[in-house]
Amino acid sequence: MTSHPVFAAAAGTWLLGDLKVNRIGFGAMRLTGSGALHQGTPSDRGQAIGVLRRAVELGVNHIDTAAFYFSRLRLANELINSALAPYPDDLVIATKVGPFRDAAGEWTTPARPDQLRGQVEENLRQLGRDHLDVVNLRLMGQDSISEHFGALAEVRDAGLVRHLGISDARPEHLAEARAIAPVVCVQNRYSIDAPGEDEMLRACEELGIAFVPFFSIAGKGRMAGAARAEHDEVHAVARAHGVSPAQVRLAWILQKGAHVLAIPGTGDPDHLVDNVAAGALRLTEEELQLLDAIGPSDS
């Protein structure tokens, strides 16, 4: 048993449709490799499985993944299946469809609407499930998403998917999607140095939709990992609380609204505990204002 059973619940809970999750979750992308396009050297397989199991022990019940999270040696969905199946009753697994990567890991053209069911079925096969809790349509520059989201709505109606969301989307995409089927979450890039999502943040709050930021810790490092040079303001707040800069970044995200869910990812067991513990960190109004003033980076 873990000695920190309240970590993941410390920031409270939110409903993804009818599924209650703790606001601190886990992103599976970095389990397959730490480099850009997930092609870096992955962590030891046993360690990756241990991190997933430890996350659940710490109260994490929301895991974000995708079939296109893979490297030469690791497949995120297979790791999740191996580590956690048979799955706990309260575990919510969210995945994404839309992008294609070939066998070499290179991004190719986005899926056509008629190919999305196949992508859903591939996630089902890899995860060993008969339905997916949440599927996000990951946009790849589309102006209109009606055909793609409509195709996913049909897959949901067929019973393969419980809830739908969108990712890397604009407010007009959210309106377009909601005219077709209910949307339970929006996944967009958002961090201290990549804020720029206030309109979507507010829209989700008003509609009771979860806002799920990605690259919250990585910031301007994005897929390559955390930025090497952290902002002085983040360091100052971290020192004041005796915590890590990563925890400050996550606490800032979580204090943007009760509807904001964090999905930090790591293959390091110590970083996992650090990330989950951020749910208990409360920043002052002055600290929040200091961090807000950092603004967007140039990258």
Q: Which residues are catalytic?
A: 69
Q: Which residues contact 191 (CB under 8 A, 6 or more apart)?
A: 213, 215, 216, 217, 218, 219, 249, 253
Ramachandran angles phi, psi of 293, nearest 5°: -70, -15
| DSSP assignment letter at 62 | E
Question: What does the alpha-carbon distance between residue 193 and residue 220 come to, in Å, rounded to a whole number?
Answer: 7
Question: What does the alpha-carbon distance between residue 222 and residue 126 come to, in Å, rounded to a whole number?
Answer: 26
CA distances from 226 to 72, 130, 232, 264 (A): 22, 35, 15, 11
Question: What does the alpha-carbon distance between residue 120 and residue 172 come to, in Å, rounded to a whole number?
Answer: 25
List the alpha helices (DSSP H) in 85-157. 116-127, 146-157
* Region of residue 198 (left: phi > 0; alpha: psi -120 to 50; beta: else): alpha
Encode 138-177: b = buried (16+ Cβ within 10 Å), e = exposed. Answer: bbeebeebeebbbbbbbbbeeebbbbbbbbbbbeebbebb
Total Cβ atoms within 10 A of residue 202: 13
Of the candidates 191, 65, 198, 43, the one whose C-alpha atom is nearest the C-alpha of residue 135 is: 65
